[in-house]
Copies of this chain bind each other. A is one copy, B any other.
C-alpha cells in the first residue's frame, strides 16, 4: 500500500472506468490472449480467488490455480526461492495469497514476473483497499484527490482488521478528512495510526458510542469483529449488538444518503450481522457494489502491470450474450419458448 501515490490511484481508476463495459459483459476483449495467470492461493479465500481469476479471463487470459497450503514440492523440503522461481517460468503474472505477513514479498523477490499481493495474513490486502476506495469515489461521484473534507466513520474491529488499516493508508493521500473511529476500547484503532493520520493533516475522533459516531458522516465503513481475536472475558462479545447497524438505527441517526460499506463477509450467525439484513434493499448499501467493483479494479491492475491498458480496445467487440436485467429464478419458459 505504501507504494501508491495519488497520481497512481488516479491512473488506476481511470483505467478501471474504461474496464466497466467489459466487467459488465457489454463488450468483450482478448487483449491478453495467450497470457497465463498463476493464481496461487496458499490459504483458502474462495471469493478473492474467483474474482482475480474472472478478472483475468475477462481480458482474454488463461488461469492456472493452486488452492492447497503448499506445493507438493514444498512438502519435500523445497525452498520458497526454488518454488517461486520454478512456477514463474510457467506464467506471465502471479497472484499470491498467503497466511503469513511478508510471504508474498519473499515469493516475489526471486523472480522476474510480476506478483500481485492477494493478501498476506495480518499484512496487506491491497486490492481490497483499492476496490473500497474506488467504490467510495463512485458512490459520491468524486475522483481520487477530490474527497477533501469528507467525514468517514470506521466501525468494528479497528485494531486487528487489516482492511481498515490498508484503506486508511490510501485515504490518507486525500486532504483534510475526518475519521470517526467507532469501536470498543479493546478494539480501537492503534495509537500510531491515529498519530500518523493527524500528522498527515487529518482529524481523528475516537468513540465507543455507535449512535454518536455515525450521526453526521458521509460514509460508514463497518467491519466484522472476529471473536477469536478478543481477549478472554471481554465484554465485547456479550455486547456485540452495540456495534450493529440496522434500518431503525440508520433512519434515526444517519444523514440521508449516508453510504454503507463493509469488506464482507458479514457474519450472519445468530441472525444479526454488523449491517443488518433489513438494510439489504436500501440504495445506500454499497457492499455488493464493492465486490462487483473488484472485477474492473483487478482487470485494470492486470492491464497496467502487463502494459496492455491502452490496447484493450484493439480486440474489442460487443458481447454476444445475454445481459440479465431481472432478479430471481428464471423460468424455463423464458428461455425455451
Contact = CB atoms under 8 A, between A and B. Distances in A.
A114 interface: yes
A74 B46 CA distance: 10
Nearest to A73: B265
Interface of A: 3-5, 7-8, 11-12, 22, 25, 28-36, 38, 44-47, 50-51, 53-54, 57-58, 60, 62-64, 66, 68, 71-74, 76-79, 81-83, 85-87, 89-92, 105, 108-115, 224, 264-269, 273, 277, 280, 288, 291-292, 294-295, 304-308, 311, 314, 319-322, 324-333, 335-337
A330 B295 CA distance: 22
Number of identical protomers: 3
Contacts of A22: 34
Contact of A288 (B89, B91, B336): B89
A112 B325 contact: yes
A79 B336 contact: no
Contact of A265 (B32, B77, B308, B326): B77
Contacts of A266: 77-79, 82
Contacts of A304: 335-336
B66 A63 contact: no
A321 to B, nearest CB: 4
Contacts of A314: 320
A4 B28 CA distance: 32
Nearest to A79: B268
B328 A109 contact: yes
Contact of A54 (B36, B57, B319, B333): B36
B267 A77 contact: yes
Given A29-B34, A322-B305, A267 B76 contact: yes
Contact of A64 (B53, B330, B337): B53
| Most chain B CB neighbours (cut-off 10 Å) among A82, A268, A291, A305 | A82
A335 B307 CA distance: 8
Contacts of A111: 327
A320 B314 CA distance: 10
Contact of A7 (B112, B292, B324, B336): B336
Contacts of A29: 34
B332 A4 contact: yes
